[in-house]
Structure 1
Amino acid sequence: MGRELQKKKRRSGRQPVRTSNKSKKVLNPRGNNTIAKNWNKDETLSQNYRRLGLLARLKAPTGGVEKRLGVAGAVTARTSVNDPFAITTIENAIVSEVRVERDAEGKIVRILGNSRPNPLNDPLNDLDEDSDMEGADDKAAEEWGGIEEDPEDTDRREKEWLDAMVSKYGEDTAAMAKDRKLNPMQQTAADIAKRIRKLTKA
């Protein structure tokens, strides 16, 4: 039924209603001749009012405020006072001199004298681990061999587990696999049968 109606609608001469995204009315201020004379139709209402020194709303604007470009004394996001990772400007940069050794081509080979360990004032430099500490960690990792289980103890516990299952269910491995109390790790029937065969061979 629905398909036929859709076909009928498609065949009809009724054109679909399309709305344009452009607003229907162009802002045209009325009521004040001074505002009407100085009105710029390319700007929004709040931009026009700000240019004329008026307020579009008495309350705080909702949804944020447009950033004004080129305002003297404006602090950008990168050079914020509270941002410790911001790159400082040339005026605030710390300039220092060092002695360097160059090769025949003029490339710097090494820095002479006492050089600062953090020349770029990188705050993350203190968090880096030293290479000496990494070497100590490697030695500790080599010394620790991990947890070693006694294979005889593992076999003994598995034998006890399988004996309990066989004493309860006999040869029925499907029932063993479904038992949640004796088979908490949810071993499959095939896996249990394989373990029982391995145990009986030994």
Structure 2
Amino acid sequence: MQLVFASNNKNKIKEIQQLVPSEIQIVSLEDIGCNVDIPETADTIEGNAILKAAYVTQNYGYPCFADDSGLEVDCLNGAPGVYSARYAGEPKDDTKNIEKLLAVLKEESNRKANFKTIICLNINGEQHLFTGIINGEIISEKRGTNGFGYDPIFVAEGYNKTFAELSIEEKSHISHRARAVKQLIEFLKLK
């Protein structure tokens, strides 16, 4: 089975490819000739996943899945959430996003947060949604060099290493994206 993953984020593509069984071939937007930065204009994580999958299905006709993820911080009422990638403004900048979040949380004692991923799958004329969440907390300084986004300041519950200190293999077993992808894979096995 061949599925388009509506992303050009090489880190995400690599992470997903490691999670899916070999009989599912993941194809990137670049592979299908889509070089457009698909607009993420929804005001929810779920909405952005739906927009991206719909764009590929409508314009290219392939079975497709798209994800959107965000970091939700409890004391910020779920912010940065859907705006996680652009929290510090345009253009996207992981370092500036982290610096802004750490500054906002400087005097905050409640540092509980979660990473959430929503996957939207368009296949056989149907749409299916899968959600992965991992709880944890935001630490006060960056640690680790692996991963991307907020990984250097997020420690998952039950762990003492940040996502950026974990290997890609370790992270791919526990992450929010891994949890959503596992649901996707289970669903596809039933097809």
Q: Of Structure 1 and Structure 2, which has the larger fraction of its residues in strand?
A: 2
Q: Which of structures 1 and 2 has the bigger CA Rg?
A: 1
Q: TM-score with structure 1 length normalisation?
A: 0.13
Ranked by relative contact order (alpha carbons within 8 Å, sequence separation 6 or more), the top structure is: 2
